[in-house]
Structure 1
Amino acid sequence: MIFDIIGLIGVGLILAAYFLLQTEKLASDQLGYPVLNLVGALLILVSLTHTFNLASFVIEVCWIAISVYGIVKILKRRKA
C-alpha cells in the first residue's frame, strides 16, 4: 500500500510538471521542470521495487537520465 502511494505521488509530480508546462506556469528551461520530473520518476522507481514491471522500469530510468541531463544543462547555463 505504501509503495502504491509513493508511486502515485511520483505520477502526480510528473503530471503536475507537464500541466504547468502546458499552462505556461513553468518553462522547460527552468530548473523546476526537470526537478519535478526527476523526483516523480524516482518515486515511481521506488514503487517498482515492490511490484516490478520491466517496461515501467525502463521508461523511468530513461526519464531519470533525461531529467538529470536537463538539470546539468540548466546549471551549466547558469554558471556561464
Structure 2
Amino acid sequence: MEQAVQIFGSILILIPFALAQWGRISARSKPYLLLNLCGSAILAVLAALTSQWGFLLLEGVWAIVSAHSLVALVRGREPRATH
C-alpha cells in the first residue's frame, strides 16, 4: 500500500512537470502548484513516517515552496521568476 501511495504522490509531481516542459501548462499556474504541493506533501509525510530524512528534506522544502507560491498567486501576486 505504501508503494502505491508513493507512486500516486510522484505522479502528482511528474505530470505537471512534464506538461510544463512541453509548454502545455505554466510552472506558475494554480494547477501546477497545487499538484506539486499535494504530491510533495504526500511524499514528505511518507518520508517522515519511515525516517528518510534526506527525502523528507527534499519533499518538505518542495511542499513549502509550492505552498508559498500558491498562496502568493491566490493573493494576486505572481510568484517570483528566476531570470
Give me the TM-score of the superposition, normalised by structure 1.
Answer: 0.85
Q: Verify the 8 A CA contact 1:14 1:40 in the aligned structure 2.
A: yes
> What SS class does the counterpart of residue 28 from structure 2 fall into?
coil
Q: Which 4+ stretches in 1 moved above 6 angstroms? A: none
Higher relative contact order (CA 8 A, sep 6+): 1
Aligned counterpart, 1:9: 8
The Cα shift of 1:58 comes to: 0.5
User: Across the two proteins, how many residue pairs are aligned to each other?
Assistant: 77
Identical aligned pairs, as a percentage?
23
CA contact (8 A) 2:9 2:39 kept: yes
Gaps in structure 2 of 5+ consecutive residues: 78-83
Q: Which has the higher helix share?
A: 1
Give the deviation of 1:24 after TM superposition. 1.2
CA distance in 2, matches of 1:3, 1:48: 11
Q: 2:64 aligns to what?
A: 65
TM-superposed CA distance for 1:7, in Å, is: 1.0
CA drift of 1:30 comes to 1.2
Q: Helix, strand or coil for the counterpart of 1:37?
A: helix
How big is the shift at 1:14?
0.7
The answer for unaligned runs of 5 or more in structure 1 is: none
How does the TM-score come out when normalised to structure 2?
Answer: 0.82
Q: Distance in 2 between matches of 1:3 and 1:49?
A: 13
